Amino acid sequence: MEVSATGLAFALAAMVLNSVAGLLESDATRYVTRGRALAMQPRYLGGLLVDGLGWASTVVALRYSPVFVVQAVLGGAIALTAVGARIVYGSALRRVDGLACAVCVVGLVLVAASAGPERPADPSSSAVLALALVAVVLVAALVAAWRAGSAWSLALVAGLGFGGSSVAVRAVHLTTGENPATLLAGPALYLVVVFGAVGLIAYSRSLERGSLARVTAILLVTEVTVPGLAGIILLGDSVRPGWWVVMTAGLVLAVAGVVVLADSPAQRPPPLRAAGS
């Protein structure tokens, strides 16, 4: 299906909300002490609330737009976060950061324009089974990454979890259509919950174990690329005939911008000033 104005509007709203949530959660890391973990910080809890609103907007966007379009737009949150950090903290944006923001925007436009006009058919039972198997593997991966305490592996699991949640949401929309009464009867809804829980747990743990820049880069690159391909392969999201090269180029540009911006000094909140300074 082509990207509708409604789907694009909700995807953009989700991008803005995710950016605000990222700023709140990043700011919360400045207040972490041995007695007050990240999960106990009010700013972090507020960020989770805003994240919830962003997720709700994503759910609506996925009803009207392919997964690869929605996920690519969500990846643009990193550019807004850099601009937001400039406003909130006075962080200096490097020249390469401005270029990366522009590259992200160009990439997102190319990806959005690549969406095909066909509405996918209902996902097959094999597609839903594949999602269920991936969910089981991802839960096992979360347990292994948690025990290892590796930030990069936790961030990777988080990206796959959040991305899997988006694919499952898309499957829910395609399965139920205009009849929400069938929502509880299908397994896709429960897969949304499992994938989302895995993503949230892994993301929270990764922030405690590694740098925000590294976690953000791995998380967003995974979220932008893997779910979109899964939506095309498993759910039948279509690309315009002859636009595969354009879509691929857009994804490459968007991911390149994300990687540069994730390592930008603007993404790191300044340290707290000591009392009386």
Nearest-angstrom CA–CA distance, 93 and 83: 8
Helices of type H across 29-94:
42-64, 67-75, 77-89
CA–centroid distance for 119 within its chain: 23
Q: Is the pLDDT of residue 65 over 80?
A: yes
pLDDT in tens, 156-207: 999 999 989 988 888 876 665 545 555 555 677 788 889 989 998 998 888 7
Q: Could you report the per-residue pLDDT of 112-156, keeping only the tens digit for each? A: 888 776 666 666 678 788 889 999 999 999 999 999 888 889 999
Q: Is the dihedral of CA 253, 254, 259, 265 positive or negative?
A: positive
Catalogue the E-assigned strands of the chain. Answer: none
**pTM (two decimals):** 0.76
**Predicted pLDDT at 119:** 61
Residue 276: pLDDT band (50, 70, 90) is very low
In terms of Cα–Cα distance, which of 105, 100, 227, 63 is closest to 158?
A: 227
Average pLDDT of the residues in 71-86:
80
At 270, is the pLDDT very low, low, confident or very high (cuts 50, 70, 90)?
A: low
C-alpha closest to that of 137 among 147, 129, 148: 129
Q: How far are the Cα atoms of 94, 99, 110 from residue 211, in angstroms, in the given order?
A: 20, 23, 31
The token duo for 108 is 């997102």
Residues 118 and 110: their CA atoms lie apart, in Å, by: 18
Return d(Cα 13, Cα 123) in angstroms, integer. 27
What is the pLDDT, as a whole number, of residue 267?
66
Choose the most confident range, by mean pLDDT, from 92-96, 128-132, 137-141, 211-215.
Answer: 137-141
**96 is written with which tokens?**
């390469």
- CB burial string 220-238: b at 16+ within 10 A, e below: bbbbbbbbbbbbbebbbbb
